[in-house]
Amino acid sequence: QVFLGVTSTLSVAAFGDHFVVEDLVEEMKKRSPALDFGALQPDGQIAVRGSFPALRELREFLLLKAKSLSKEGETEGKSHQKPRRKLQEHGGAAEMRNSIRDAHRETQVVVLDTDIYQYMRAFFPKTFQANDVVISGVTDGDITTVCIENAGSKAGAAQAKRRIENSSVELQKILRKERIRFREHSRGEKQRYQQLCERLKPLHPEVLLLPYDTHVDVVGTSADVFGFAEHVRR
């Protein structure tokens, strides 16, 4: 499996107090014609599929809208001596909450494939370490949104964002994923595969193993993934 694109579920319910949600979705479709949009659900969630850059642009557009509403709420609160009305938090809106919780702190956002994010965390942890910035990740299925907040100079957050983006682009070119499905969906079968993978892992130290209830995902270069999968099959 090549990392070309993913499906992400977005929640636009948080905008319900300020916009007609259906109109907002239409605006999203016009701004992002390269993305495929599913049906808008009653709870305000909508599935969106496309490339990482296109999804990143859409999420940054929504974050900017959320930030503008936050600032409007601040102004309204000062004018009428009322507390600012907070955005409702519904599912995926937690990502927006993390990104706009402090309008005075510069926040950079990077959208990554979750498997690539986990590979980076496992093999290149220093990518997410920098002075004067706070880096956190919010995973929503196939997508992980990395928020980078400056704790010092604004340049630090921008530099950290570029470093993460450049690393993810390079890894996207070389990483592959293979899914090894269990023959039986039982606890014993799962344990057998996990024990087998643990025994083989030292022979393939560059692969990342992601165990699930019905399968194991193997992430790494083509050669590493192929070699590990062949060992498991034998």
Would you state the pLDDT for residue 183?
79
Answer with the one of 175, 197, 220 that is the final residue of a domain: 175
Answer with the one of 125, 149, 175 that is the final residue of a domain: 175
Would you state the pLDDT for residue 71?
56
My answer on whether 186 and 164 are in the same domain is: no
More confident residue, 124 or 16: 124
Residue 105 pLDDT level (bands cut at 50, 70, 90): low
Q: Which domain holds residue 216?
A: 176-233
The residue type at 102: D
More confident residue, 35 or 153: 35
107 within 8 A of 99, measured Cβ to Cβ: yes
My answer on whether 166 and 200 are in the same domain is: no
Rounded-to-integer distance, Cα 172 and Cα 38, Å: 26
How many separate domains does the chain show?
A: 3
61 within 8 A of 52, measured Cβ to Cβ: no
What's the pLDDT tens digit per position in 174-200? 999 998 888 777 788 888 888 898 899
Residue-averaged pLDDT of the chain: 78
Residue 90 counted as domain residue = no
Answer with the one of 175, 194, 224 that is the final residue of a domain: 175
My answer on whether 141 and 199 are in the same domain is: no
Highest mean pLDDT among 39-43, 67-71, 166-170: 166-170
Which CATH number covers residue 46? 3.30.70
Residue 125 counted as domain residue = yes
Per-residue buried b or exposed e for 112-122, using 16+ beta carbons within 10 Å of the residue's own CB: bbbbbbbbbee
Q: Quote the tokens at residue 44.
A: 């305000």
My answer on whether 153 and 193 are in the same domain is: no
